[in-house]
Each structure stands twice: as structure tokens, then as C-alpha cells.
Structure 1
Amino acid sequence: MTDTDTAEPVRPETIKAVPVRHPGRWVSGAIVLVLAAMLIHMLFTNPNLDWSTFAKFFTEKQILKGLVATLELTVIAMAIGIIGGVALALMRLSANPLLSSAAWLYIWFFRGTPVLVQLIFWFNIKALFGDISLGIPFGPTFITWDVNSLVTTFIAAILGLGLNEAAYMSEIVRAGIMSVDEGQTEASQALGMRRLKIMRRIVLPQAMRVIIPPTGNETISMLKTTSLASTVAFTELLKAGEDIFNANYKTIPLLIVVSVWYIIVTSVLSIGQYYMERRFGRGSSRALPPTPLQRLRRNLTTFHVRPQVPERGAS
């Protein structure tokens, strides 16, 4: 036996891992910090912001009344949009060519014209129809209503926003329905279930995983789109702010008041969307989306954590 056979194996030297430098991150971080410092300095030193006026009118009765009107308009318009969107989506997927074509024409028209134009149209509907009558077609009329008494500014805003939203929601619902495997419908039909029951009990609950996220975005967008109702003389949040700064000429502070209220309501809706996605995402193969608190806790606990590189030769 030689000395080479009896010698102990030599362990390789431990590799000293040197972290990769990221100078670009430090530069971009420094730029962001400088811009943030400039923004904070401007917020506290610019006299034109007039924070005293902001504090005075933030909870003004007129502003809160406009906020309530905005919320009412958002809820009703989205309800019309969701119900109409489901109906239009089912019509688009129908085997009846008349229903499918009618739904396609509706979607084509309302998505092809600006929502502001539709709002103004409904506000001036009397110029088109005059009065609305109830009677026998092409025959005598029994009852006549004045259009202006029926289509008020609130109704015009609801019709303009709700009917427009139905066109967009129909495509969202249709995409959700088409994402469900056709085998689900075929198996349900083999069990003797009717088409409407299959859609209500089998297809739509599974399609909600696809429908909920864009519907949440549409709701947030609808909240901000309600500001267009001010063009038809409906007093919502923005119109309430405009009425005040047209009287006291404090334009910037009142616009900040309106913007902060929009941000608050949007944040609440975003949190609700998170929990809706988690609820309808249960049972899927994907991990549930984190809640806002979980996301914040994860960011705080992993901000300074650096991945460990294992050393070569370590047992």
C-alpha cells in the first residue's frame, strides 16, 4: 500500500460569495428619495395649496351630500351594468342568430360612442321624442308623459352610465363564461339539468374567478366616471366642489378636497376587491392573492432580507 492510498482526501477551499452590486438600484432609489422630498417640501411650503381651506371644506355639508350622490350613482349604474352585461353575454352566446346579432349591435354602438356623448344625449332626450305615450301601436294613445318629468338629471346620468357599462360588462362576463371548460356543461346536460340552471349553478360560479378582478376595476372606474355627470347639471362630488370654488375662487383647495375623497373611496373599493378575489379564488390551483395587511407585513419583514448563497463543500 502506497502513501497516496493512505492520505486523507483534501477538502476544497470554501468559496467566499461576494454579493452582486446593484449601483442602478442605489441611483434610482436616490432619485426617488429626492423627488419625494421635493414633493413633501412643496406640500408644506406652497401657500397656494391653502390647507386651512382644505380642512374647512373637507367635511362641508355640500361636499358630503355630493359624495353620497356619487356613491348612489356608482352603485345603481354598476347594478344596471352588471345585470345588463350578464343578459347581453348570454344573448351573445345564444344559438339564436337574432339574439346574438342584437347583442352584438348593442355592444358595438355603446362601446363605439363616448360616454360623455351618451350622457348629453339622455339629458336632451326630449328633443328627440318630445312626449312618451302609452296606447295601441299605430293607433290611439291613452296616457302621455312629459319626458323631462321622467328623465331627470339623475335618471339621465344613470341611463348614460349604466347602459354604457352594460356593454363593457357583457364582454367581461362572456370571457368568464368561455373560460369554463365545456365539459362542465356537457356533464350537466347528461344529468338532465336545464341550460339556465347549468348557467346559474355550474358555469357562473366558476366564471366568477375571471369576472371579479375586471369587475372591480370597472367599479373603481365607474366611481371616477360619475364626475362626467356634472356636465348634465347633476350635483355629484365634483359638481359640489365646483359650486363652492365658483363662489369663493378657492379652486386648488377644493379640487384637493374632491381628489382626496375619491382616493379614500377608491381605496375602500380596492380592499373589497381583494377579499372578493380571495373568496371566489378558493378551491383553485393558484395561491390566493394576499390581503393588503399580508402584503404590507411581507414587505416590511423582507425589505432587508438578502438571499443566502450556500458555500461549496458545506455539509
Structure 2
Amino acid sequence: MTFDWDYFWASLLTPNSSFLNGLALTVTISVVAMALALILGLVIALMGRSRFLPLRIIASIYIWIIRGTPLLVQLVILYTGFAAANLFRFEDFSIGFLVKGAVQAAIIGLMLNESAYISEIVRGGLESIEKGQTEAALSLGMTSLSAMRWIIVPQAIRVMVPPLGNSFNGLMKSTSVLSIIGVAEMFQIGGTMASSTFKAFEIYIVVALYYLLLTTIWTVIQTSIENWLNTKAGLPKAESIWKRLFGMRSKRDQIAPKNPLAELEGAQA
């Protein structure tokens, strides 16, 4: 078996309409699922911080179940299992364009899966802000909600952006498992092309390169967002895109950081 370079370059540089549709569907599902997961993750995080025990229990059980089971299993149960048990069935509907049931299940499945992780990111971000700031805001007459809105959340966002960006990167790659429920995203289209042309190696490398392109574009966007937030907070910029992608560091960056504990012990001596 030989590698067909002509077919590889043609597929990479001039993909057919089916592949481009799969690429567009991959991006659409990723963006919509992430947006919904952010909302649900915030709700779950706030439930976990609630004063009411039942809400905290519900949030903990939700996170435990979702994080403890594979995404693939969750998708199959959501799309096939519920229908087989006559509990719920995803039906196609139109909102100016056709939204297939499998796509609906894919978005909801990714949303549920990602929200459990996002809730922990949000919780960690909120808890990274000193409690004294909330107490100070309350002492000035602000309500708990306004203190959260104007004092805590703006500071926590800067802490949460890096892990949230990494979560979105992971979510985009996770769309490759959606083929199990029949979603015609990029990976499934690539598999169909490989089956019809018997050029699996060439096609799957093309698919991998397009996933790499998507995650690289998002890394650039994420780095820009982090730098903007750091600038607004008066902090140094985050790592450059070259450092983040290729690990390129200057000699200054490679100098071993000083040990503050050792400096403190030296000063005390």
C-alpha cells in the first residue's frame, strides 16, 4: 500500500462540500454546546455554594455522575437508551433549517458533560477570591448578589479563562465521538470518504490536520482574551502564542525561579 500524495493534497487544500459541511457542523455544535455548558455550569456551581443543603446535594450528585461516566456512554444513553425505554425521543424539527435529532442529542450530551467540569472551574475561580472582599462589599451596603456581580465575578473571570479555554479545546476534539449516534460531523464524513476511496490513512491525516487547525485558531483567540484581561487588571501579559504552541522560551524564562521560602529563611538568619 502506497501513500497517495495527490489525493492527500487535494483533500487537504480543496476539500469537497460534504467535508466542509462536516467541518461547519463540528464548529457549530462545539460553540453552541460550550455556550450552554457555561450557563449550566454556572448554575451548578452556584447550587454547590448554596446555603440550602438539598441544592448542594443535587449539584454534588450531578457532578459525580457526569464526571464518573464516559461521554460516549452518556451520548448512547441519551440518544438511543431513552428512546428504547420510551422515555424521550429526539425528533427532527425546522427553525428555518433542519435540526436533526442526532444533532440535538449531541449538543445536549456535550453540554451536560462539559457543564460538570465547568462548574468545578467556576467554583475554583470564585473561591480563589478572598472572602474578605465579599465581607467588605457587604459592609458597604451591597447585597450578596451585587457583590458577586461587581466585585467577585470580574476578578474570578481572569482566573477562569485559561481552564475554560482548555475545556473548549477538549470539547471540539470530543465531537469526533458524535459519529456513534450518527452525527455527520467532520470525523464521520472523513470515515465515509475513507470507506468509499480506501484511502483511510490519507483522509484521517487530513481530518487530524483540520482538528489541529481548529484548536490552534482557538488557542490564538484564548491567548488574546487572556492578554486583554491581564492588561485591564494591570498585570503582565500571558505567554505569547509561540510559547503556548511550541514551548519556545527565552533564556530569561528558563532561569530557575527563586524560592521565596529560602529567601525568607535567609532573611531571618
TM-score, with length taken from structure 1: 0.71
| Corresponding residue for residue 281 of structure 1 | 230
| Corresponding residue for residue 71 of structure 1 | 27
Q: Secondary structure at the match of 1:129?
A: coil
Q: How do residues 3-14 of structure 1 correspond to structure 2 at under 5 angstroms?
A: none
Query: Retained in 2: the 8 A contact 1:126–1:148?
Result: no
Q: Secondary structure at the match of 2:23?
A: helix
Query: Retained in 2: the 8 A contact 1:81–1:162?
Result: yes
Counterpart check, 1:55 vs 2:4: no
Equivalent residue letter for 1:127: A
Q: Secondary structure at the match of 1:281?
A: helix
Counterpart check, 1:108 vs 2:93: no
Query: Retained in 2: the 8 A contact 1:209–1:281?
Result: yes
Alpha carbons of 1:49 and 1:203: their partners in 2 closer, same or farther (altered >3 Å)? farther
- The CA distance in 2 between the partners of 1:280 and 1:91, in whole Å, is 27
Query: Retained in 2: the 8 A contact 1:48–1:252?
Result: no
- The CA distance in 2 between the partners of 1:81 and 1:110, in whole Å, is 13
| Corresponding residue for residue 195 of structure 1 | 144
Structure 1 residue 191: Cα displacement: 2.1
Structure 1 residue 198: Cα displacement: 1.8
Cα distance per residue 1:234-272 (max 9 Å; x no partner):
000000101111111110110011011011111110111
- The CA distance in 2 between the partners of 1:301 and 1:113, in whole Å, is 42
Equivalent residue letter for 1:84: L
* Percent of aligned pairs sharing the same letter: 35
- The CA distance in 1 between the partners of 2:202 and 2:103, in whole Å, is 27
Among candidates 205, 213, 219, match of residue 168 of structure 2: 219
- The CA distance in 2 between the partners of 1:168 and 1:293, in whole Å, is 28
| Corresponding residue for residue 258 of structure 2 | none
| Corresponding residue for residue 181 of structure 1 | 130
- The CA distance in 2 between the partners of 1:236 and 1:182, in whole Å, is 45
Alpha carbons of 1:237 and 1:183: their partners in 2 closer, same or farther (altered >3 Å)? same
Query: Retained in 1: the 8 A contact 2:79–2:90?
Result: no
Equivalent residue letter for 1:103: A
Equivalent residue letter for 2:38: I
Alpha carbons of 1:204 and 1:242: their partners in 2 closer, same or farther (altered >3 Å)? same
Query: Retained in 1: the 8 A contact 2:79–2:105?
Result: yes
| Corresponding residue for residue 263 of structure 1 | 212
Among candidates 77, 86, 90, match of residue 129 of structure 1: 86
Q: Secondary structure at the match of 1:289?
A: coil
Query: Retained in 2: the 8 A contact 1:241–1:258?
Result: yes
Q: How many equivalent residue pairs?
A: 242
Equivalent residue letter for 1:216: G
Query: Retained in 2: the 8 A contact 1:111–1:167?
Result: yes
Structure 1 residue 192: Cα displacement: 2.0
| Corresponding residue for residue 140 of structure 1 | none
Query: Retained in 1: the 8 A contact 2:219–2:241?
Result: no
Q: How do residues 218-257 of structure 1 correspond to structure 2 at under 5 angstroms?
A: 218-257=167-206
**Which has the larger helix fraction?**
2
Structure 1 residue 295: Cα displacement: 8.2
- The CA distance in 2 between the partners of 1:160 and 1:300, in whole Å, is 39
Bigger radius of gyration among the two:
1
TM-score, with length taken from structure 2: 0.83
- The CA distance in 1 between the partners of 2:190 and 2:170, in whole Å, is 20
- The CA distance in 1 between the partners of 2:137 and 2:9, in whole Å, is 59
Query: Retained in 2: the 8 A contact 1:238–1:258?
Result: yes
| Corresponding residue for residue 166 of structure 1 | 115
- The CA distance in 2 between the partners of 1:268 and 1:155, in whole Å, is 26
Unpaired stretches in structure 2, ≥5 consecutive residues: 94-99, 253-269
Query: Retained in 2: the 8 A contact 1:275–1:291?
Result: no
Counterpart check, 1:120 vs 2:69: no
Query: Retained in 2: the 8 A contact 1:278–1:288?
Result: yes
Unpaired stretches in structure 1, ≥5 consecutive residues: 1-46, 132-145, 304-315
Structure 1 residue 208: Cα displacement: 1.2
Structure 1 residue 285: Cα displacement: 7.3
- The CA distance in 1 between the partners of 2:90 and 2:178, in whole Å, is 19
